[in-house]
Amino acid sequence: MRRSFLAWVLLVIGQLMGQDMPLSQVLLPENGEWELVVEGYKQTDAACTDVLGNFYFFDVKAGDNILKVSADGKLSVYAKGVENISGMQFGPDGSLYACQGGDYKRVIKLNSDGSLVVLASNIFPNDLVVTCEAWVYVTETKTGKIVSISPDGKVTRFKTSALRPNGISLSTDQSVLVVSDGGGNKVYAYRIETNGDLNFEQAYMTLRTKSAMSPSKGDGMATDVYGRYYVTSEVGIQMYDPTGRMGGVILNPLGTPVNSVVFSGPDLSYMYICAKESIYRRKTKSLGFCFSDSPFKMKVFKDK
C-alpha cells in the first residue's frame, strides 16, 4: 500500500513538473480568502513552522519574544528574551535555528529545554534554511554572500551575484539552494555538493517588479511538496514551478510588501504571511513540509 501510494504521488509530481503550474492549482476558488491570524505588532518577521503545523514568528514589539500560534489558533510565547531575530527554522534535532542580528552577529539554536547554543559568530545573518542533515545556509545581505555552517560548526562563505541576498529555500530533494535578491530581480540557484559547497550559480527565476528600474525587494521564500517556489516581494507573493517558470502573483490582503511566507496550520495546508503589523493565512490546495525531515519522509508520502 505504501509503495503504490508513493509511486502515485511521484507520478503526479512528475506530470505537474512537465506542464505549466498556474495559481489555480494552489488557490481555492471559494473559502480561500485571507484571514487575519494576529495583529497589533510593529514588524512581524521570521515566519516558520514545525511538523505539527504550529506557526512561529518574531516581532520587536512582542518584548523580544518568539511567538507561537498553534494549529488551532492559540497564541503563546515560545521563547523569551531573544532579541533581533530575522530568520528561523526548525532543524532535524527538533531545535529552533535562528538568525540573531544587531550587535549579536550570530546564528543560534534554541533547544527544547530552553538552552541557547551559538552555532556561528561574526556574521551578518538575515535569513536561513536548515537541511535534514543539519547543514545551515544563511544569507548575508550586508556582505552580499551566502554562509554555510556545517554540522560540526565549520563556517564557509560563498560569493553570489545577488546584490542583496535575502530569502532562502531548498528544492524538495534538498540538492538545490535558492536565494532571492532584494536589490535586483532574480532568484539564484546553486547546486549543493556532498561536502556542502555551493556550485553552478544560475539566475533561475525572474521576479516581477513595480517598474523596469525598481528592485523586486524579493524577500522570504517557501517551497511546497510539488516543488513550487514562493517568493515574497513588493508586488505580492510570486509563485514559480520547479523549472523556474512563473505561475502568477498572489496579492496580499494589505497591498503592502510581504517579508515572510511559510506553509503551516492543519496538515501544513495554509499559507501564512508576515504583513508588517499583522499575520494572515489562507487555505490552499497545496501542502508545505519541513526540510528537517528527509525528502522521503515528507508528510504527503506517508500512509494514513
CATH number, domain containing residue 99? 2.120.10.30
Tell me the sheet residues that pair with 273: 261, 280
- State the average pLDDT for the chain: 88
Mean pLDDT for 206-223 is 89
What pLDDT, in 10s, does the model give residues 152-178? 999 999 999 999 999 999 999 999 999
Based on the structure, what is the number of domains in the chain?
1
What is the Cα–Cα distance from 262 to 138, expressed in whole angstroms? 17
State residue 300's pLDDT score. Answer: 40
What pLDDT, in 10s, does the model give residues 101-144? 999 999 999 998 889 999 999 999 999 999 999 999 999 999 99
State residue 61's pLDDT score. Answer: 78
Q: Which range of residues forms the domain containing residue 193?
A: 2-301
What pLDDT, in 10s, does the model give residues 23-78? 888 998 765 689 999 999 999 999 999 999 999 999 977 778 999 999 999 999 99
What is the Cα–Cα distance from 179 to 221, expressed in whole angstroms? 8
239 or 63, higher pLDDT: 239
State residue 252's pLDDT score. Answer: 84
Strand order in the sheet with 45-49: 45-49, 55-59, 65-69, 75-79
What is the Cα–Cα distance from 202 to 246, expressed in whole angstroms? 16
Q: What is the pTM of this model?
A: 0.89
Q: Do 157 and 139 contact (CB within 8 A), yes or no?
A: no
Mean pLDDT for 192-211 is 94
